[in-house]
Structure 1
Amino acid sequence: MERHIDINRFDYALPDARIAKFPLAERSASKLLVYRGGEISDRHFADIGDVLPAGELLVFNNTKVIRARIIMHKPSGARIEVFCLEPHAPADYERAFAVVGACEWSCIVGNRKKWKEGYVEINFESDGRAEYLRAWITEDRGRECTVRFEWTAPMTFGQLLEHLGRIPIPPYLNRESEEIDNTRYQTVYSKFEGSVAAPTAGLHFTPELIESMRQRGFEFEEVTLHVGAGTFLPVKDEDAAKHPMHTEHFEVRRATVARLLDRWGHITAVGTTSVRTLESLTALGWRIRTAGTPDAGRVVGQWELYDIPAAYTGREALADLLGYLDREDLDRLKAATQIMITPLGYEFRIVHNIVTNFHQPKSTLLLLVSAFVGDDWHRIYDYALDHDFRFLSYGDSSVLMR
């Protein structure tokens, strides 16, 4: 099927002054735009329990942002920035952070023209001893490279990143990361290391807000999707359908699938990464229905969900997935997704409401919002601009209810 999306239809003027360069002092003090069946109003994020229907199941992405930027130098003194994207060897996130001595990662290299050959390094001290971390490019793949790291300190790679790395705040903030970013560019429920960007809709929640909502009857579940740098890639082609979506790895527990099935029709995704994870489950369920297996080694394709019959519901998908996990005696499912949610006839089958920040013009995330609310995205963004909302990662939030 031929697909065409004019990306210029998803453009709007975003003054630099409206981009939040730093977080507010209090997480839940941010503003909240409320879109309910076409009506728009605004509250404070702390009021979200008054806004959402009682008893909703909120789904968080519990990924944790790693200190993925490492500033290294050539022996000549040239400064090279190595930005770790995802593990290559070992390829599993858990093992990659636990390895000692050496590993390989897919990376983006800053000042690449100065690093044609040889190694770059960073010298540091640990427990009073002089140590070093060295890196070599083992494969050049254009925008990304495979980089081999070797180090002398008796540390895991995860500990090494904590010691030497920097939090990779979004490029549009146009500043270096600062001490505040180490805590505020993480959600309060982050657990599993692997992201190079935060699931920013969750930055507004505090432990106190979550607990007060829990006492009022709201339920909470967590999925894990490791956010890649591709989330910031602009759509460069005039036809957004030609934009190649990045791959992101996710994991969902069997207990979460059971809860989602029980609360189907009352599921609020906190953030676009939670949306992408939950909606990808439909494709896995359909594979089980038609082939008997989700083929977990494969990736959910960019357009795969558009080819699933409209009559196949999210409830059926979750039931098929739960049945498979029980038959195979699995307590979790690992997969990856390239899903691209656009207003080109996308059918939401699992997500009922969305909590999300305000996204960049001409971005795949704005396409996702448009797929959910239709052309009303113009009214929503005009309202936010006219009412002094702060935009992008450290900005204010919205709750979208159809």
Structure 2
Amino acid sequence: MDINDFDYVLPEELIAQDPIEDRSASRLLVLNRETGETRHEIFRDILQELNAGDCLVINNTKVIPARLMGVKEDTGAAIEVLLLKRLENDTWETLVKPGKKARPGAVISFGDGLLKGTVVDVLEEGNRKIQFSYQGIFEEILDQLGQMPLPPYITHRLADKNRYQTVYAKHDGSAAAPTAGLHFTKELLQQIREKGIEIAEVTLHVGLGTFRPVKVENIEEHHMHSEFYMVDEETAEKINRTRQNGGRVVAVGTTSCRTLESASTEDGILHAGSGWTDIFIYPGYQFHVVDALITNFHLPKSTLVMLVSALAGRENVLKAYEEAVKERYRFFSFGDAMLVV
């Protein structure tokens, strides 16, 4: 399957640079995956699109201020470090720029020495393993020194860092937000519960895969970076009960979708547990659990467009994207949303 099959033309001015004031006032394109038909709504109208007996599945991961700006101790050269994955003993897998200045043994100082990192290894694809040293509590120091790791296509500074966080964010660990969830307010979630729709929580800490482009022509040769997920017993019971009773499982975002499909078996049963997943979902994939998907508009040729295409059909998705461009929808992390039913 060719990567160019998932390309589309996006005018740069449609890339949303700032979140809108009211999270639930973004636009919503509803795509029927069977017919390819589309409708235009406001996100809070999702209440009318969901039915009593459905189960909405949200990813409760919390973005950490994972971008650190430091200097190399011996030369004073500026170095940027993005925390990707906590390993052990204050050691992290990181993305470092410029990588050539971060050879094993290099010491990087952050916040005038409040935090120091020593490069201990170069990993596959150039990532660095860094051992950190500090006095106090790492999370508090990170909160003081770190910046929210906004994607490179967002050039505006974020006035309120909580706007790159869902209202239900709970467990620290992500290097990027599960952006489909940014549209929900606490009030909207309460209205959804009152309608008789279950809300189930999973955790997937978003890592490098969000930042990594597909570099192969044949997408089947692409390898996803592994990310840590958790599904508890209560969530597994809610989702399995929903399916037994004929309700729909509606995943909020590609991260929730990937978690559900990673933790389920071919018979459609979701199993509680935790682990690492590198599941890559593209057309031809048979979904085990997910019936519908709430998602944002994604980058051309990205694994996320491929996942949505696996659920709704590539031609339907690209046609819907073409319509979204024509209707001047806002794209990517702070942009508008799509509901695939």
Q: Which amino acid aligns with 2:267?
A: T
2:128 matched residue in structure 1: 145
TM-score (norm 2): 0.94
For residues 150-202 of structure 1, give each alpha carbon's deviation from its aligned partner in whole angstroms, at most 9, with x where no partner exists. 113x2x21111111101000112234x4332x111000000000000100000
Q: How does 1:1-400 map to 2 (within 5 A)?
A: 5-36=1-32, 37-38=34-35, 39-75=37-73, 76-90=75-89, 103-116=90-103, 117-123=105-111, 132-141=114-123, 142-152=125-135, 154=136, 156-175=137-156, 177-180=157-160, 182-264=161-243, 265-282=247-264, 285=265, 312-314=266-268, 317-318=269-270, 321=271, 333-343=273-283, 345-374=284-313, 375-400=315-340
Q: Which runs of 5+ in 2 are unaligned?
A: none
TM-score (norm 1): 0.80
How far apart in 2 are the matches of 1:71 and 1:217? 47
How far apart in 2 are the matches of 1:63 and 1:205? 15
SS of residue in 1 equivalent to 2:83: strand
Higher relative contact order (CA 8 A, sep 6+): 2
CA separation of 1:123/1:388 partners in 2, compared to 1, >3 Å: closer, same or farther? Answer: closer
Which structure: larger Rg? 1
How far apart in 1 are the matches of 2:335 and 2:193? 25
SS of residue in 1 equivalent to 2:153: helix
How far apart in 1 are the matches of 2:335 and 2:68? 26
Q: Which amino acid aligns with 2:84?
A: L
Superposed displacement of residue 53, structure 1: 2.7
SS of residue in 2 equivalent to 1:171: coil
Number of residues of Structure 1 aligned to a counterpart in Structure 2 = 332
How far apart in 2 are the matches of 1:371 and 1:58? 20
Q: Which amino acid aligns with 2:70?
A: M
Runs of 4+ in 1 over 3 A off after TM superposition: 114-118
Q: Which amino acid aligns with 1:133?
A: L
Identity rate, percent: 43
Cα-Cα RMSD? 1.5
